[in-house]
Structure 1
Amino acid sequence: MMFFNFAILLAGAGFAAAQSISELSSQCQSALINTAASSEAACLNPSGLISLALTSSNTSSIIPGVNTWLSGLCSQSACSNSTLQDVITNITSGCSTDLSSLGLSTSNVTDLISSVEAYYPTARQIICLKDTSTSTLCVPEILTNIQSATTTLSLDNIISLAAKLMSGQSTGIPSSAICTDCTQAAFTVLSQGLPQVASTVQSAVSSECGTNSTDGQMPSDVEKSATNSSTTTTSGAIAVSFGSLHMRAVIVVAVSAVFAILA
């Protein structure tokens, strides 16, 4: 359930907003390009985010792009607090006007940085959970379940699902698609890392997926695949050059990737 929410909000809300912005400011484009090209930001796998942002909105499934991005992110060393601070500061400073147009406030960056630093380790562990029986990361696996039960998860369809999710409407997705060992593992990791957050969603997860999903046990067929070490430098900076539409998509996805877990 929380995997579904994360992926849907990331792709849907991000791209829906991207399609509604006529142009990014030149200052914001520069901030994004500099951040994505920085070796320091490699822990967020920006090249994988860019690949995801360039997915055809009408027909192609986002699942391969999500898998590519997360596979790269989870194999990278974790972002240090210094890196998170730099990324957030650079984007909120360079894109303050653009973010405001998306309804995202940048007035209290210090609190935002503190929140991201607190949530990031647990969020990273959750999105890097892997089903060992299939050697597949849990997020793309659950998205595949949803796609099999509904329709191709193209960006357009994801946007529609995101709109329903955020407005409280039924998405028509069966519990069997999202109530897996991955969901139980995600709740267990959440309860260990952020117990106060877990307590707020326990009732909903238990209601949707049964009491076993919130029993605090780690299923034997799910493992934490995230690389544990952290670093502030990684070789291999990337060069970025896009048209305005693609740049809009990339900036929103990049911002969503940092903040989606706080939504």
Structure 2
Amino acid sequence: MFFNFAVLLAGAGFAVASSGISSQCQSALLNVSASSSAACSNPSGLISLAITNSSSSSIIPGVNTWLSGLCSQTACTNSTLQTVITEVISGCSTELSSLGITTSNPTAIVTSIQAAYPTVRQLVCLKDTAMSTLCVPELLTNIQSATTTLSLNNIVALVTKLVSGQSTGITSSAVCNNCSKAAYTVLSQGLPAIASTAQSAVSSECGANYTDGQMPSGIQESATNSSSTTSSSGAIALSFGSLNMGVAAVAAVSAAFAILA
């Protein structure tokens, strides 16, 4: 499943929107949002998306604004990731737990997110040059056209159906395009163990050519590349499933690529 430390920020933000927030969590989010070192994640854009977006309006404009800001920033360092993740976990553990996000082992969460971050950042910053738009908003728009308005409420319900294997109304034509092929290619190069678990489903839904490892034409990697973030093959091999990420939080960063989950 795709995630980075945006999951933690979004998860806390969703808790705000759905059931209020503790003063401790509010303080943690404000500290992260105001931190110059955390600008690499455009945290204010993500938190604003989760907190201020109407439960009945589409999240797509907010997602586009957040990712546009994130992708134009220099990548986060491992040190920054550790600081932000630790602060959010410490301040918002109750809110995250209410969404099914287990925070009892912060070290494991930090290590896993540090390992996944470079690949996830590269993936969410893919751009369709023909459409002049980032791939995530483009795929979300396709899914919205095939299903319903992707509001906070509806997107959580949609991902819940995906996780439980229920019909969602998402058609192959909505998700099988150059953006999703590029997403799988990036995943297979950066996190091959995760990609391999999705290969059969992706091939079945979109065709064998979607998993051939070739980057399709017209897709550009738009993320600013300068970074001191590192990862190791050992870290990448960690079991992400053991982190028990809640579907509400995961939806914030993965719904567009749900077919690959």
Residues 1:52 and 2:54 aligned together: no
Instruction: Choose the corresponding residue for 2:87, options 79, 85, 90.
Output: 90
Aligned 1:33-72 pairs, distance under 5 A: 33-53=30-50, 54-58=52-56, 60-72=57-69
Residues 257 and 82 of structure 1: CA distance in aligned 2, closer, same or farther (over 3 Å): farther
Q: Which secondary structure does the structure 2 equivalent of 1:230 belong to?
A: coil
Q: Distance in 2 between matches of 1:140 and 1:96?
A: 29
- Cα distance, 1:257 vs. partner? 5.7
Structure 1 counterpart of 2:215, one-letter code:
M
Instruction: Choose the corresponding residue for 1:111, options 108, 113, 117.
Output: 108
Q: Deviations over 1:133-188 (max 9, x none)?
A: 11110010011112222332222322321221222211111110000011111111
- Structure 1, unaligned stretches of length 5 or more? 233-251
Conservation of the 8 A alpha-carbon contact between 1:14 and 1:256: no
Conservation of the 8 A alpha-carbon contact between 1:130 and 1:136: yes
Residues 184 and 170 of structure 1: CA distance in aligned 2, closer, same or farther (over 3 Å): same
Residues 187 and 113 of structure 1: CA distance in aligned 2, closer, same or farther (over 3 Å): same
Q: Distance in 2 between matches of 1:33 and 1:16?
A: 15
Residues 254 and 219 of structure 1: CA distance in aligned 2, closer, same or farther (over 3 Å): closer
State the match for 1:122 in structure 2. 119
Q: Which secondary structure does the structure 2 equivalent of 1:79 belong to?
A: coil
Q: Distance in 1 between matches of 2:142 and 2:191?
A: 27
Residues 25 and 13 of structure 1: CA distance in aligned 2, closer, same or farther (over 3 Å): closer
Q: Distance in 2 between matches of 1:31 and 1:12?
A: 13
Residues 255 and 160 of structure 1: CA distance in aligned 2, closer, same or farther (over 3 Å): closer
Q: Distance in 1 between matches of 2:17 and 2:119?
A: 31
State the match for 1:134 in structure 2. 131
Conservation of the 8 A alpha-carbon contact between 1:77 and 1:231: no
Conservation of the 8 A alpha-carbon contact between 2:203 and 2:211: yes
Q: Distance in 1 between matches of 2:9 and 2:95?
A: 18
Q: Distance in 2 between matches of 1:147 and 1:99?
A: 27
Conservation of the 8 A alpha-carbon contact between 2:10 and 2:47: no
Structure 2 counterpart of 1:111, one-letter code:
A
Q: Distance in 1 between matches of 2:146 and 2:26?
A: 38
TM-score when scaled to structure 2? 0.80
Q: Distance in 1 between matches of 2:9 and 2:60?
A: 10
Q: Deviations over 1:95-143 (max 9, x none)?
A: 2233233332222211111100100000000100001111110010011
Q: Distance in 2 between matches of 1:123 and 1:213?
A: 18
CA RMSD in angstroms comes to 3.1
Q: Which secondary structure does the structure 1 equivalent of 2:220 belong to?
A: strand
State the match for 1:81 in structure 2. 78
Give the total of aligned pairs: 235
Q: Which secondary structure does the structure 2 equivalent of 1:147 belong to?
A: helix
- Structure 1 residue ranges, 4+ long, deviating more than 3 angstroms after superposition: 9-20, 252-258
Residues 229 and 12 of structure 1: CA distance in aligned 2, closer, same or farther (over 3 Å): closer
- Cα distance, 1:25 vs. partner? 2.2
Which structure carries more relative contact order (alpha carbon 8 Å, separation 6+)? 1
Identity of paired residues, percent?
68
